[in-house]
Amino acid sequence: MLQITNNLPCLRKFELMNKNRQGAILVADDDPDCRAVLARRLRRRGFDVLEAPNGTSALSHINAGRVALALLDSLMPDMSGLEILDRLRAGTRSE
């Protein structure tokens, strides 16, 4: 179950580190309801939000260079959030 609060420490830290709001927050989740709720909450806080319904789309957004922070679902069907992280760490950014 998705639980969102207004006191997310990671968002506060991100706000402090990214005062000029350069780059967007990527929300990657294959569940459209979870993705929509999280994206809406972030937009209400003033963040620029990109959405991705799968890992391939998430990598495309990351490769485009507009992503400052990525929130990745760990269980997406085509490519999990963990697989995306492994590719980024290995320097393999291709889909």
pLDDT in tens, 51-95: 999 999 999 999 998 898 899 998 898 999 999 989 988 886 555
Q: Give tens-digit pLDDT for 32-49.
A: 999 999 999 999 988 899
Q: What angle do CA 77, 89, 46 make, to 5 degrees?
A: 70
Q: Calculate helix-pair angle for 81-90, 55-64, nearest 10 degrees.
A: 40
